[in-house]
């Protein structure tokens, strides 16, 4: 289906009674929630965007560029959200064959997620496509306009969700790596959590890391190895931060968890970096791409790449070991493959250079670093 045949309806008509603050105009960075929702749709290539307003519609109108969207006023907004859905569906143009439906209080949908939903719609030919994050169904669904009349005529209890359940056989789900599809702003605590997520959006959080690993079919033993590398990297980062450094704990955790996502492929470090770059996480991509080959030069500086490189070399399967033990274990495994062992020996030598820098800066011994395995990451 051509992208100009897909529209979007953003519902921004309610009273925000539970929030007690007008949700469409809550600030997320430099934009309001309603602007953020509109921008996501525009970045995904959606051209026909309908914003359904009601309560305080004039304030929303003053916020939006109405030359690029269609602003609708639902005079019956006090009847509830379903009346606003009907208002939007009724005003879709004839060319629209399917539409996203997004409440304004779920504003942090990645444009990549919307594109994946549209691709799933094309590939499955399902009438309704839902995004799913870690087995939780979220927003926005993409709904065929063949259900337009059924939505307009519906007067059964339960609203749109209840109606669409009648068409379960015409439904598809797509696993996405976007926690934003499940994050709403019903309460002020929700809003605080959403802001925290927005500020850290350039790095996948732990739940998103797990979703990424699941999406790419990562075996359990690689997942467990990644978790241990992440723990060790974060512990090392914390020790360095206590000496005046400023390492991003979230970046270290994500890079550790995901560093072997392409394990089994040729040049798996670079391949993993490419996966994360394509997912929109360039910082993590850069760290992951360097975890197999690195050259340490600066004796005074430490980088995230070096921390992950070292942590990976000190974790044998799921156990933290000394570099000497790692070399011995590698020799036992590759003693009949001298060329392969030569590469491992060189990499472990580079890891030793990094370890010595960290010992010099932090005062920690290698034995103390290995002990993180029993103590876990310091909070």
Q: CA–CA separation, 192 vs 344, rounded Å?
A: 46
Q: CA–CA separation, 92 vs 87, rounded Å?
A: 9
Res 104 pLDDT > 90: yes
**What are residue 318's phi and psi, to 5 degrees?**
-120, 20
**What are residue 32's phi and psi, to 5 degrees?**
-85, 165
The whole-angstrom distance between residue 21's C-alpha and the CA centroid of its chain comes to 27
Q: What percent of the chain has pLDDT over 70?
A: 97
Res 378 pLDDT > 50: no
Query: pLDDT tens-digit profile of 59-68?
Result: 999 999 888 8
Contact 319, 227 (CB under 8 A): no
Name the nearest CA neighbour of 7 among 40, 42, 45, 46: 46
* Lowest mean per-residue pLDDT among 43-52, 149-158, 331-340: 331-340
Q: CA–CA separation, 147 vs 236, rounded Å?
A: 55
pLDDT at 332: 83
pLDDT at 294: 87
Q: Residue range 181-185: average pLDDT?
A: 95
pLDDT at 17: 78
The position carrying tokens 């934009």 is: 31
CA dist list (Å): 183 to 37, 247, 347 = 13, 27, 42
Res 243 pLDDT > 50: yes
* Lowest mean per-residue pLDDT among 15-24, 81-90, 248-257, 317-326: 15-24
pLDDT at 376: 54
pLDDT at 344: 86
pLDDT at 374: 63
Confidence band of 78 (pLDDT split at 50, 70, 90): very high
Res 377 pLDDT > 70: no
Query: pLDDT tens-digit profile of 138-162?
Result: 999 999 999 999 999 998 888 899 9
Res 52 pLDDT > 50: yes
Contact 116, 130 (CB under 8 A): no
135: left (phi over 0), alpha (psi -120 to 50) or beta: left
Domains and CATH numbers, the chain: 3-199 (3.90.550.10), 206-375 (1.10.3210)
Q: Residue range 89-111: average pLDDT?
A: 97
What value does the mean pLDDT of the chain take? 93
Res 1 pLDDT > 80: no
Contact 81, 14 (CB under 8 A): yes
Per-residue exposure over 85-97, b if at least 16 CB sit within 10 Å of its own CB, e if not: bbbbbeebeeebb
Query: pLDDT tens-digit profile of 127-141?
Result: 999 999 999 999 999
Query: pLDDT tens-digit profile of 280-310?
Result: 999 999 999 999 998 876 667 899 999 999 9
The whole-angstrom distance between residue 146's C-alpha and the CA centroid of its chain comes to 31
pLDDT at 379: 38
């Amino acid at each position: 289906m051509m992208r100009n045949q897909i529209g979007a309806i953003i519902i921004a008509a309610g009273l925000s009674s539970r929030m007690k603050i007008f949700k469409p105009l809550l600030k997320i960075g430099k934009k309001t929630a309603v602007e953020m929702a509109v921008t996501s749709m525009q970045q995904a290539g959606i051209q026909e965007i309908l914003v359904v307003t009601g309560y305080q519609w004039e304030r929303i109108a003053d916020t939006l560029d109405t030359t690029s969207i269609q602003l609708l006023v639902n005079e019956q907004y006090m009847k509830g959200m379903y009346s606003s859905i009907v208002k939007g569906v009724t005003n879709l143009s004839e060319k629209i064959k399917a539409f996203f439906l997004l409440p304004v209080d779920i504003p942090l949908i990645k444009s990549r997620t919307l594109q994946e939903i549209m691709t799933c719609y094309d590939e499955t030919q399902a009438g309704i496509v839902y995004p799913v994050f870690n087995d939780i169904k979220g927003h926005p669904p993409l709904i065929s306009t063949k259900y337009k009349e059924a939505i307009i005529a519906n007067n059964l209890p339960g609203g749109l969700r209840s109606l669409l359940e009648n068409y379960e056989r015409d439904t598809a789900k797509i696993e996405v790596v976007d926690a934003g599809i499940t994050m709403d702003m019903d309460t002020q605590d929700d809003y605080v959590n959403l802001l925290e997520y927005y500020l850290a959006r350039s790095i996948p959080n732990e739940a998103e890391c797990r979703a990424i690993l699941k999406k790419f079919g990562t075996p359990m033993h690689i997942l467990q190895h990644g978790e241990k590398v992440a723990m060790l990297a974060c512990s090392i980062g914390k020790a360095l931060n206590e000496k005046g450094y400023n390492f991003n704990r979230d970046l270290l955790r994500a890079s550790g968890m995901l560093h072997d996502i392409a394990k089994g492929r040729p040049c798996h470090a670079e391949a993993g970096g490419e996966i994360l770059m394509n997912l929109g996480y360039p910082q993590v991509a850069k760290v992951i791409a360097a975890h197999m080959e690195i050259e340490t030069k600066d004796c005074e500086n430490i980088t995230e790449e070096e921390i992950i490189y070292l942590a990976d070399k000190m974790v044998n399967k799921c156990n933290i070991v000394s570099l000497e033990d790692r070399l011995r274990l590698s020799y036992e495994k590759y003693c009949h493959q001298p060329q392969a062992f030569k590469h491992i020996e060189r990499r472990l030598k580079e890891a030793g250079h990094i370890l010595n820098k960290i010992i010099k800066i932090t005062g920690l011994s290698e034995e103390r670093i290995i002990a993180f395995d029993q103590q876990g990451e310091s909070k």
